Amino acid sequence: MIPVFIKLKDFKVCIFGFGEVGRRRLNKIISGEPEKITLYTKEEIDRETKMYYKNICNIEFITCNVEELTEEDIEKIIKEHDFIITAIDEKNNRRIVNIAKRFRKFINSSTFEKDINFIIPAYCYKDGIYFVVYTQGKSPLIARNIRKLVENYIENHRYEIDLQNCLRDFLKEHILSQRDRRMILEEVFRNKEFKKELLNLIEKYRK
């Protein structure tokens, strides 16, 4: 697998299951702003929860027992969607994964990770920066801890990120050589005194 970023704006997503895993998957998928989300759940969802999600995305909740759906029923559902997420029991996850693969859909499952083609890894987005970590299911706890470390790093180095961004734009206008621009940026990143003087200059001319 290779890491990619996908815009979900024009795609339809189907989620089976609204337990802990299904809810986490839904909360991540929402940020991609898919055209529509259809969520199948065995348990009736309370009105407050439904209204919360309907206020932030185009979602339809369907109450049904997947165990009672025939192969044809599942095929019909899968054909109507582009991305399939299944987070229910192992037996039905397997059924859904097999059917989704047959129709060449993007499929994510809470089990059978080796058989799927669509991963939703731990990630953070902060100040215009994405960071993704994936342990191939070996340790979600480690992935979460690494994500927190990166979030803290970005928070503690926010001014350096802004500085690099502004300086990079300035150098593009005044220095043609990409190699020279990179050397200057690297020097700024390493040299604490230089950064301090530069920030003082910025503050001076802001006033």
Measured between alpha carbons, how far is 169 from 185 in angstroms, rounded to an integer? Answer: 11
The string of pLDDT tens digits covering residues 19-51 is 999 999 999 999 899 999 999 999 999 999 999
Domain extents in the chain? 12-120, 158-206
Q: How many helices (H) does the chain have, and how many strands (E)?
A: 8, 7
Residue 63 pLDDT class (50, 70, 90 cuts): very high
Per-residue pLDDT tens over the stretch 70-97 = 999 999 999 999 999 999 999 999 999 9
What is residue 45's DSSP assignment?
Answer: P
Global pTM value? 0.75
CA angle 88, 93, 98 (to 5 degrees): 160
17 versus 177: the higher-pLDDT residue is 17
Mean pLDDT of 136-147: 80
What pLDDT, on a 0 to 100 scale, did the predictor assign at position 125? Answer: 79
Which residue would you say has higher pLDDT here, 191 or 75? 75
Task: Name the nearest CA neighbour of 167 among 193, 191, 199, 192.
Answer: 199
pLDDT at residue number 207? 59
Domain 12-120 is of which CATH architecture? 3-Layer(aba) Sandwich (3.40)
User: Which whole number is the average pLDDT over 52-62?
Assistant: 95
Residues 6+ apart with CB under 8 A from 36: 12, 13, 58, 59, 60
Higher pLDDT, 118 or 204: 118
Mean of the per-residue pLDDT values for the chain?
Answer: 87
Please check the confidence at residue 130 and state whether its pLDDT lies above 90. Answer: no
Q: Which of the four pLDDT bands, split at 50, 70 and 90, describes residue 166?
A: confident
Q: How confident is the model at residue 155 (pLDDT cuts 50, 70, 90)?
A: confident
Task: Name the β-bridge partners of 152.
Answer: none
Rounded CA-CA distance 125/18 in Å is 24
Instruction: Give the residue carrying structure tokens 């940020």.
Output: 31
Which H or E element spans position 102? helix 90-102
